[in-house]
Amino acid sequence: MDLRAALTARRLIAIVRGGDPDAALRTVLTLAEEGIELIEVSLSGADALTVLARAREELGPGRPLGAGTVLTAADAHAAHRAGAGFAVTPGLGAGVDTALHLGMPVLAGVLTPTDVIAARARGASALKLFPAAEAGGAAYLKALRGPFPDAAFVPVGGVDVAAARAHLAAGATAVGVGSPLVGDAADGGDLGALRDRARAFRAAVEERP
């Protein structure tokens, strides 16, 4: 898949991490039903590889579905076997190189200009600016875009609806959203509330200047 093109078109990636595998699967499927095209299942969730494999089976081969928190080469191999079509990392570990070797595009975690240079040199499709809120929010993203105007930045971490709008206005290609979108759904919480949040985030990212 062309991950950068998908991020540019959809402008939102949902991050599912939960303590209840069945609830996490229901969360993935509900997000897909609500039109969230890009979904990441974090490997730090309970039985995440099974969730990923079951989600792939339910969604079919053509749906963009990624594995998050890919830290090691073993993580990348396991995610690939489970059906992940792309990998998301919090930093520039061995998982980046192995995922790329396996043919999975990578949304690679960065924070500093040095990280950006290294991630692009390794072939990352896009750059996960993490943790976005703690790093200075949209103002920091705008500063990074000065030396890297053509980089595809995806802020992640503390991105609520208002922050999503601010980051996109500052030049983000997309935003990655975990708990402000998923809430407690992946732990067995209310799917109706999840649908409401999904619609609110979709409305926010679909706004164009």
Annotated active-site positions, please? 40, 128
Amino acid identity at 207: E
- Name, in order, each residue with C-beta under 8 angstroms of 150's C-beta and a sequence gap of 6 or more: none
End-to-end CA distance of the chain: 27
In angstroms, the CA 92 to CA 102 distance is 16
C-alpha–C-alpha distance, residues 15 and 103, integer Å: 21
> Maximum CA pair distance of the chain?
44
Distance (Å, whole) CA 52 – CA 198 = 20
Distance, in Å, from the CA atom of 67 to the CA atom of 106, rounded to the nearest integer, reads: 10
Contact assessment for residue 39 and residue 64, using Cβ atoms and an 8 Å cutoff = yes
Q: What secondary structure letter does DSSP report for 52? A: H
